[in-house]
Amino acid sequence: MSDIRLFAAERASVARTSEGNLIAVRGTRDGAVFTADWYEAHALEGRVFGANMGSVTTPLTFLITLANRPDAWIRVPDNTMILPLSVHVVLEAATGPATETDVRIAQNDIGNGTSSAATVGPVSMRTDAPVTSNCVARQLATGDTTAETNPMSVWRQTVITASAAGNDAVSQQHITRADMGYPVLVGPATIEVFVAATTTQATGFVIITWVEFPERS
């Protein structure tokens, strides 16, 4: 029979130790164990990254949907694995009148095509950046990328009400890992965002976050 005990710690200051040392398990006085969220633990390691497409007051003008021309994407190279955490799409103006967002994954690295580097990122969500991302963040493919291998949509939404001011609730699309069906991208792979309207193309911003590991971690 096992017997697990911990140090009750309900106080303003708790013990800390340096990397690689043993430390007592901490919990409440009734024996409940404190545990860190799994994703929070990887954020502490510096393995959560983000990228911005469009920034501050300069939105992207999204493209007409064409094969191999996404608006925002993360390239995952060989020997790297990522878990997409969230995709946030903000439509600053959508007068289309119907504007569709399609988030999808592919089983290959689609490359850069003719595009621009993401406005910001990849950037570690830990500000001292102890880990460097192997991924590449791109935006606005005005020329073809490499054709996708086995592409699959993991989230879609169509905004059917025109909005010139970005004040429609559906213009704020926060897509969680659960919404996407818990994809695991083992490089080479890609996560892509397409935003397109029936007539006038929308303007807006995309934020993508992910946790990243060596492929065999």
At 86-99, the pLDDT tens digits run 999 998 887 777 88
pLDDT band per the 50, 70, 90 thresholds, residue 194 = very high
Name the one residue in this structure whose structure tokens are 């164990």: 33
How confident is the model at residue 14, as a pLDDT? 60
Give the chain's mean pLDDT.
88
Confidence at 163, pLDDT banded by 50, 70, 90: low
Q: What is the mean pLDDT of residues 117-124?
A: 96
Rounded to whole angstroms, the Cα distance separating 141 from 192 reads 11
Average pLDDT over every residue of 134-143? 97
Rounded CA separation 26/40 (Å): 17
| CA pair distance 186, 100, nearest whole angstrom | 27
Q: Is the pLDDT of residue 151 over 70?
A: yes
Lowest mean per-residue pLDDT among 8-12, 37-41, 197-201: 8-12
User: What's the pLDDT at 197?
Assistant: 87
The C-alpha atoms of residue 164 and residue 216 are separated, in whole angstroms, by 47
